[in-house]
């Protein structure tokens, strides 16, 4: 098994607390699948970026990026920084790294919307990713760091709720808002301010 795979604790997805109940009941869906199913979910992404993602076709299966659920290798990234004013309403989901092994899963060495980003498949190809930058605390110290820090795992269509192993909160107030939503699964919630800004 890949050394790089073993070093991954979780894959990460950021969402608003208001979406948590739906996600815990139904799992995560790709952008296109949300539209197909008519699922209501509050979106924190930038419209201009989503337009680029809609048009971007990945080269492995020739699908739109919007056909995939997007997860990050590093949650403390430029996307979260852009939405830092919403951080007290955002939780970070920690998902099973085994999603990388799924047949239709692919991953990238940077933001999937960027023309400079390369796509990969299979855990052995994790070796091609620039882990020093992906795992660094700050991306501004590196050339092209902003793109690279947003390296993604792309899971086709949907992710079952059983793959959600953690719900990370920035502050105790968030934790106390999240626990009643989790109910019997409250043990997966924890406060980890270092994952946020």
Number of H helices, E strands in the chain: 8, 10
- For 32-59, the pLDDT digits (tens) are 999 999 988 898 876 666 677 768 899 9
pLDDT for 39 equals 87
User: What gap in Å lies between CA 180 and CA 144, rounded to an integer?
Assistant: 41
Its pTM stands at 0.95
What is the percent of the chain where pLDDT is above 90? 89
Comparing C-alpha atoms, which of 162, 154, 143 is closest to residue 26? 162
pLDDT for 45 equals 79
Q: What Cα–Cα distance (Å) separates residue 167 from each residue in 18, 32, 73, 95, 173?
A: 13, 24, 15, 9, 14
Taking every pair of Cα atoms in the chain, the longest distance, rounded to a whole number of angstroms, is 45
**Strand, coil or helix: 20:** helix
Tokens of 8: 């991954």
What is the percent of the chain where pLDDT is above 70? 96
User: What gap in Å lies between CA 114 and CA 71, rounded to an integer?
Assistant: 16
pLDDT for 53 equals 77
pLDDT for 55 equals 80
Comparing C-alpha atoms, which of 36, 108, 116 is closest to residue 72? 108
DSSP structural state of residue 75:
S
Tokens of 127: 């070796």
pLDDT for 152 equals 98
pLDDT for 187 equals 97
Tokens of 29: 């869906």
Mark the ranges of the chain whose per-residue pLDDT is less than 50.
Answer: none
Domain boundaries in the chain? 3-195
- The percent helix, strand, coil of the chain (3-state, each to 5) is 45, 20, 35
Handedness of CA 65, 68, 69, 75 (dihedral sign): negative
């Amino acid at each position: 098994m890949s050394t790089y795979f073993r070093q991954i604790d979780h894959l990460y997805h950021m969402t608003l607390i208001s979406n948590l109940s739906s996600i815990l009941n139904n799992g995560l869906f790709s952008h296109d699948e949300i539209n197909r199913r008519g699922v209501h979910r509050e979106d924190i992404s930038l419209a201009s970026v989503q337009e680029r993602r809609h048009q971007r076709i990945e080269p492995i299966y020739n699908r739109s990026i919007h056909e995939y659920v997007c997860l990050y290798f590093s949650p403390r990234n430029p996307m979260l920084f852009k939405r830092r004013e919403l951080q007290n309403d955002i939780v970070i989901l920690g998902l099973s790294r085994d999603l990388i092994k799924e047949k239709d899963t692919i991953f990238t060495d940077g933001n999937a919307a960027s023309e400079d980003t390369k796509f990969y498949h299979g855990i052995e190809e994790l070796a091609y990713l620039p882990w020093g930058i992906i795992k660094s605390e700050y991306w501004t110290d590196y050339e092209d760091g902003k793109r690279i820090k947003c390296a993604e795992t792309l899971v086709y269509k949907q992710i079952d709720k059983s793959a959600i192993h953690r719900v990370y909160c920035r502050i105790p107030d968030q934790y106390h808002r999240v626990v009643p939503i989790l109910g019997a699964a409250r043990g997966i919630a924890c406060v980890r301010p270092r994952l946020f800004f």
